[in-house]
Amino acid sequence: MWFSKKEDVIVKVSNIEYIDDLAYANWQTIYIYTKTGRKVHNKVNASFKLKNDKIIEHIDVFSLHSWAK
């Protein structure tokens, strides 16, 4: 498990865009990783492919190196 309880997580979403059958958003999570006690701040660029207003593909891009520090 990433974190011990829901109060330990902050999620922020920004820059939401929707163009035809594609959507984009930036999101961040801030939490304490329970295995190490380390504070994590993950910054993600997400893209979505949509069909009939449903997500059929979702790709997150983030720095694995930054997350793993």
Q: Does position 8 have pLDDT exceeding 80, yes or no?
A: no
User: Domain segments of the chain: what residues?
Assistant: 6-62
pLDDT tens per residue, range 10-45: 899 999 999 999 999 999 988 888 788 888 888 999
The 10 Å Cβ neighbour count of residue 2 is 13
Of the candidates 29, 56, 24, 26, the one whose C-alpha atom is nearest the C-alpha of residue 41 is 29
Tokens 């902050």 map to which residue? 10
Q: Looking at the domain 6-62, which fold is it?
A: Nuclear Transport Factor 2; Chain: A, (3.10.450)
Establish how many alpha carbons lie within 13 A of residue 52's alpha carbon, considering only the half-sphere containing its beta carbon.
Answer: 0
Q: Does position 66 have pLDDT exceeding 80, yes or no?
A: no
C-alpha–C-alpha distance, residues 40 and 68, integer Å: 9
